[in-house]
Structure 1
Amino acid sequence: LDASLSRLSSGLRINSAADDASGMAIADSLRSQANTLGQAISNGNDALGILQTADKAMDEQLKILDTIKTKATQAAQDGQSLKTRTMLQADINRLMEELDNIANTTSFNGKQLLSGNFINQEFQIGASSNQTVKATIGATQSSKIGLTRFETGGRISSSGEVQFTLKNYNGIDDFKFQKVVISTSVGTGLGALADEINKNADKTGVRATFTVETRGMGAVRAGTTSDDFAINGVKIGKVEYKDGDSNGALVAAINSVKDTTGVEASIDSNGKLLLTSREGRGIKIEGDIGRGAFINPDMKENYGRLSLVKNDGKDILISGSNLSSAGFGANNFISQASVSL
């Protein structure tokens, strides 16, 4: 009778382990999982609320930046006097202060969202320990928004092993990258160096891109390559080609071994021969490609150019060994451009 009354009053078939021990265990497990999932949903909503708060704040910052751009454009025309330009600059300064105020005061439950401290914040969105998501929101103060770009100022013409250190990457510490070989072999070159830099980009804030191209100085004219003509150690041999490589012989011959050499040939819009290394390893031409290709002798060995970009507007400081093989030598000047809002 007591068991029946308990079931009637609770609406549950199982009220204690005595009713059904295994069923009780299963029910408790399901109840626990349901409660956990309910909290996980709540956590997900909190994460969404945080991102929406940050998004709304950044939307206001974008409106401020649009206004700043408009005022800068207004000041750039010669119809403005020194006095009016000074007034426009004063307006821009106040807008910059408001931009920084939004970055420094936007918060959620006491956590600053746009100051640069919201990094790798984890949210539990499932019942299991590995069911999480991480979110990072970068700093949006005027001193942190911007772009710093380094580009090697000249073509790299010598191979070697490179290792460099990024100085004060976070304002305090140095970061030492692994050694990379710059050559024409598979898994080497600026492509491998860019991969090494980019896999650490989340920590250093620096990303790399590369360009390895050898281009003729003029439109292709009829010619013949030598019997020992080769690219990156792979023999191609004698090829007879016509003006503009109209018969496609030169491009076809080079591309027939591109999977081995890593070098792809094409004719650009100006009719010039263009050799491109997609993987970022070097391009080394051996033998005679023929005068009709207009490849200068000093371009027969080319390891490309490297660009480094940092999005926080801070300087990129580099030291290391054999930096000339990456284009950072005394005679390969670095182009530097910085844009801060």
Structure 2
Amino acid sequence: MPQVPPTNLGIREYSAAKRNANNALTTNNLSIRQLPDDATDELRVDSKNTSIPISAFPQHPASTFSSTTEQALNQTGNALEQLKALSIRSANDSTSDKSREILNEEAEELVALIDRIANTTSLDGKNLLDGSIDSISFQVSFSPPTQKVIQGFNAATQVLGKLPGSKQSTGDRVQLQRSVIGNQGIQEGNTRSNIISDFSILVDGQNINESINIADQRYGGLLSNVTNTQSLTDNTHTDFSSGTAKDIANRINTLRNTGEPTLRTIFATATTSFTSTDVDDKDYSGSVNKSTTQNIALGSIEQGDFSINGIDVNSVAFLENDSASTLVHAINAISALTGVTASVNTLTGELSLEADDGRDIVLNTSSADTTNLIFGGGQHRFSESFSDLRVSGRVTISANDNAHFFGSSKSLTGFDDFSLDSTEINQFTNDTIADTNLTSASGAKKAEINIDQAINQVNRFSNKLSALRSEFESSLKAFGSIYQKPRENTANNINSTTAIRLAELSRNLIQQRIDTAVQAQANGTSQQILFYLR
């Protein structure tokens, strides 16, 4: 057989093909572990498209679960906020019956939307928010504990907003000082809370001899007071983030969870809320002109002008009624430190502050002008600044039957007078978001209670997901060779063009090996042929 002259034409073609393929990958910022995300901008979690394939998220599976669920819950939360606004309008005495019918129709659409989100949000073929998931376990570490469990959540309206127990009672704000001068639970200056030494709960069907004093030494002892308001504004002090309402709820739930039989059907929550309309002349050093507006005015504040629980709100400019939500965002940006979140009443433009764990809220403003800018519509509603204005929380107790409250500390807990606004005694609590009916003022007020509960449920679960997602993402350091953190606001997703390019590259490599083997057959030894065919 004639000798074939040596040639490297095939190798040159291979090198050129490889360069072209690599250039194509480089042009599109691709690597073996970084695939294009051309289509990720099209991924949306909404009422029409809530199914996102898990293959679109080549990151930690737990982080994927958390972030996808959070996206859907954000929409649920938005729908609930709109539903709350409708219920407030319907509850207004000036709203006509015809207007309530229209509001109720809008509410029904929002309820349907919430159900649609719950029933269609899925990941890798599994529904996330319809209650079908009890819990999911993910590996987050190579060393014990290696597993982290995420509990499931049911965001369907038949469940959302339901309160524990069938009867609910909500007391007034926990008393500050020994005597009430203005509104109970709102006082300025170095105010102290009271020691709770004797408070018992009895549910119908129980023997009175079975009731227990939750402040008895056997059950943890006295619920101590905070004698210095300023300690609540010092994040290094042991009193920081505390409050008597929070302590009462925690004591009841702790005793129930540890098996105390008389409290086995009793559940407690505590919340602290504040709006400008809550303050009277006797609550602080200045005077209050209640004939003025109470909305947020157009303006700005500098850092140090407004603090919540000792933490300054950052400098921010805001529109009237905070229509762009800049003030709300500035307050919520520090909520992890203060424990307080902000919202705006969509009808009145009034700022609302809430601590959902029942801790006391302490407010300080730098001047009367700042106070009125935030809480008085820019008018002269308040004559002085807020100087350690302290607001206590209120406790809600749910049970399977009517509850009765007694003990020498009953008045201090707020469970002594249920004729006051925002208090209730043994109200049925079986309603959920699905039962929303805004055709009457009373129905709207009942709906608002369930909506508030639903918002709290969604927010609590979202906060848990956010914290868990941060923990999961930190595990990427350990799993770096397996998972890749996606670029901001995108998720890596291989498209058909990339698949074709990768297939062409593989085909070129195979063809080159064949070409090289043919050349080796013509020019080389049998050992070389075998080498190139490996």
| TM-score class normalised by the smaller sequence | 0.3 to 0.5
Q: Which has the higher strand share?
A: 1
TM-score scaled to structure 2, two decimals?
A: 0.31
* Structure with greater contact order relative to length (CA < 8 Å, sep ≥ 6): 2
TM-score scaled to structure 1, two decimals?
A: 0.46
